[in-house]
């Protein structure tokens, strides 16, 4: 209880939240970098995955990409960026790393969701005279929606985790509270930072689960 109590004290002390290296600023950095990266990753991965799924090609790419993403350590990629000239580019190296690691789950899940749409359903839609575009918007997209959202959730969790590791190479974000605590042998601060990161990750997951239910295109029909 000792360390946890001290960590709670750290979290409830106003001075720890203010200033350049305060928790409020670090939280802002974390959310900003994560949000920008997730939006960029969606803008890159979703059109590609949805198009490939629509025409039914590129399966090997979609599956292998996610396996490669698992084998490459986030820390190594961030470290490589930090010893290259990119290190002087502000948030850019972190954002590139976050996008790199968010794209595979988005791409793979959206692609699998599109290809798992029942063939008989798409054929029935074509038989009713739907064009390729109508088929995509009114049949494939709503049916692939659950898998797309699963991918979005995995990507968001990955992004929040990666933004934490960015602190290990000296970049901003909530992880900096943890690394600063390690450097000064301040265990309560380490634990307080870890609690903040864990709560943020769980909150992001919970918000996305809620959003998923709220936006589900089949929701109204199911309840009706």
Binding region for another protein (CB under 8 A): 2-4, 67, 70-77, 79-80, 82-84, 87, 157, 160-161, 164-165, 167-170, 175, 178-179, 181-182, 187, 190-191, 193-195, 197-198, 201-202, 205
Between 84 and 134, whose beta carbon lies closer to another protein?
84
Residue for token digits 């209880």? 1
Between 135 and 192, whose beta carbon lies closer to another protein?
192
d(CA 47, CA 49): 6
d(CA 21, CA 130): 56
d(CA 160, CA 174): 10
Between 16 and 122, whose beta carbon lies closer to another protein?
16
Tell me the closest approach of the beta carbon of residue 198 to another protein, in angstroms. Answer: 5
The pairs formed by 8-13 with CB atoms below 8 angstroms and a separation of 24 or more are: 8/192, 9/188, 10/188, 10/189, 10/192, 11/192, 11/195, 11/196
Between 107 and 125, whose beta carbon lies closer to another protein?
107
Tell me the closest approach of the beta carbon of residue 35 to another protein, in angstroms. Answer: 16
Residue 90 falls in which region: left (phi positive, over 0), alpha (psi -120 to 50) or beta: left
Tell me the closest approach of the beta carbon of residue 174 to another protein, in angstroms. Answer: 9
Tell me the closest approach of the beta carbon of residue 100 to another protein, in angstroms. Answer: 13
CB 167 within 8 A of CB 91: no
Tell me the closest approach of the beta carbon of residue 12 to another protein, in angstroms. Answer: 18
Between 124 and 198, whose beta carbon lies closer to another protein?
198
């Amino acid at each position: 209880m000792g360390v946890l109590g001290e960590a709670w004290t750290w979290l409830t002390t106003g001075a720890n939240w203010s200033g350049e290296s305060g928790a409020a600023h670090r939280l802002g950095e974390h959310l900003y970098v994560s949000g920008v990266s997730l939006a960029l990753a969606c803008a890159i991965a979703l059109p590609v995955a949805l198009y490939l799924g629509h025409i039914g090609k590129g399966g090997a790419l979609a599956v292998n990409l996610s396996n490669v993403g698992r084998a490459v350590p986030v820390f190594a990629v961030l470290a490589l960026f930090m010893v290259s000239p990119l290190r002087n580019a502000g948030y850019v190296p972190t954002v590139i790393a976050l996008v790199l690691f968010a794209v595979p789950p988005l791409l793979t899940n959206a692609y699998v969701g599109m290809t798992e749409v029942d063939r008989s359903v798409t054929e029935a839609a074509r038989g009713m005279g739907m064009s390729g575009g109508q088929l995509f918007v009114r049949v494939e997209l709503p049916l692939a929606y659950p898998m797309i959202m699963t991918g979005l959730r995995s990507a968001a969790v990955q992004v929040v985790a990666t933004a934490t590791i960015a602190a290990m190479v000296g970049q901003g974000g909530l992880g900096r509270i943890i690394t600063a605590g390690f450097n000064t042998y301040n265990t309560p601060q380490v634990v307080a930072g870890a609690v903040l990161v864990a709560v943020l990750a769980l909150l992001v997951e919970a918000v996305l689960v809620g959003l998923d239910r709220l936006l589900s295109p089949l929701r109204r029909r199911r309840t009706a």
